[in-house]
Each structure stands twice: as C-alpha cells, then as structure tokens.
C-alpha cells in the first residue's frame, strides 16, 4: 500500500518538474519579447511549482521512513513468532522428559560401570598373578642353570667322589618346603579372588 503511494507521489513530482522546465522556457521567451507582465506571472507560477516539488520530496521521504518502520515491525513480529515456536517446543520436551527415570538410568549406569571395572580388575589381577608365577619359575630355572654352568666342574667332581645317599638326602629335604610354600601362595590368591567374586554377586 505504501509502495503504491510512493510511486504515485513520484509520478506527480516528475510531472511538476516537467512543468517547471516549460515555465522556465516560456519565461525566457517572454523576457526576450519584452513582455515583463507575463514574465512576472509565470515567475510566481514557477516558485509555487518548485515549492510543490519540494513538498513531494519531503512526503516521499516520510512515506519511505514509515515503510521502513513497518518492515522492522514485521521482522520483530516474525522473530516473536519464531521464539514462541521455540518456547513451545522446549516446553513439550521438558514435559516429555521424566527426570526420576533419567536419574534411575544414570544410577544404574554408574553401578554397572563400577561392576565392570571391578570385574576387569579382578581378571587383570588373576592374569598377572598367573603370568608372574610362570615368569618367576622360568627365571628361577635360568638362574639355576647359569649357576650350574658356572660351577658345573666342581659339582661333577663332587658327584664322582661323594656317596650317592649324601647328595640325594639334602636334595629331597630342599624340595619339601618349596612345595609347601607354593601351596600356601596359591591358597592366598584363591581366597582373594573368591572374596572379590563374592562382592560382585552382592551388587
């Protein structure tokens, strides 16, 4: 609506400017002919025409300002409608969310996570204990073989000269405490694993 009014004002202004040019031409012509009375009358018409053109310029500027304000209001209204839609969507999401249920889910997740960490720790300790025993046994055998290689000549000479019963007896005595120690260590490991597994079953 305002754009149409602005276009009409622009057409009127252009018409007045055309009329202004015609008046100027007629004033010059009458002045050359010495018709000073006609020149004065047309000069007054020229002044009124120029004032009218100036008014049309001002009116057009005012209408353009109003159009800009209306466009700003439309943009603000559109923004308000968008915010209204967002607020409505947020309200629906908040109503759909069950906070107690989410809290229970998070608690269950934390419990299961702790349980999984404990199981992983127990399994890791068991594997480490098993591998550690094998490594210690291998290291022990390597050390014994190294020592025997270093003193093998003396041992062989002693085995030739010494009675067989004298050598066998200390060896038999040395093996018994070692077996008992291994059994005690395994029992301690089993008891520790059993205690951890019992704690897992209670969770």
Dihedral of alpha carbons 31, 36, 37, 41, sign = positive
Tokens of 84: 């209204």
**Both 23 and 64 in a single domain?**
yes
What is residue 176's predicted lDDT score, i.e. its pLDDT? 41
**Both 122 and 82 in a single domain?**
no
The closest of 65, 58, 60, 26 to 43, measured between CA atoms, is: 26
102 domain-assigned = no
The total number of structural domains that make up the chain = 2
**Both 134 and 184 in a single domain?**
yes
Per-residue pLDDT 10s for the chain (203 aa) are 778 888 888 899 899 999 989 988 988 888 888 888 888 888 888 899 999 999 999 998 898 888 888 889 989 988 988 888 888 888 888 888 777 888 888 888 888 888 888 888 888 777 776 666 556 667 666 776 676 666 654 445 555 555 555 444 444 444 444 444 444 445 555 676 667 666 666 65
Which alpha helices (DSSP H) does 34-98 contain, by range? 36-96
- Domain extent, residue 127, equals 111-202
């Amino acid at each position: 609506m305002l754009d149409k009014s602005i276009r009409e004002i622009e057409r009127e202004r252009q018409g007045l400017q055309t009329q202004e040019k015609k008046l100027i031409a007629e004033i010059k012509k009458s002045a050359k002919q010495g018709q000073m009375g006609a020149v004065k009358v047309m000069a007054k018409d020229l002044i009124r025409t120029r004032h009218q053109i100036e008014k049309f310029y001002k009116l057009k500027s005012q209408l353009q300002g109003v159009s800009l304000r209306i466009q700003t209001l439309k943009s603000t209204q559109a923004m308000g409608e968008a915010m209204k839609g967002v607020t409505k969507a947020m309200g629906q999401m908040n109503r759909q969310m069950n906070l107690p249920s989410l809290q229970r889910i998070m608690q269950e997740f934390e419990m299961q996570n702790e349980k999984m960490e404990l199981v992983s720790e127990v399994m890791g300790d068991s594997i480490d204990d098993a591998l550690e025993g094998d490594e210690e046994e291998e290291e022990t055998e390597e050390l014994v073989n190294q020592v025997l290689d270093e003193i093998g000549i003396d041992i062989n000479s002693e085995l030739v000269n010494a009675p067989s019963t004298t050598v066998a007896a200390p060896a038999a005595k040395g093996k018994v405490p070692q077996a008992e120690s291994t059994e005690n260590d395994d029992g301690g490991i089993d008891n520790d694993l059993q205690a951890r597994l019992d704690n897992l079953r209670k969770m």
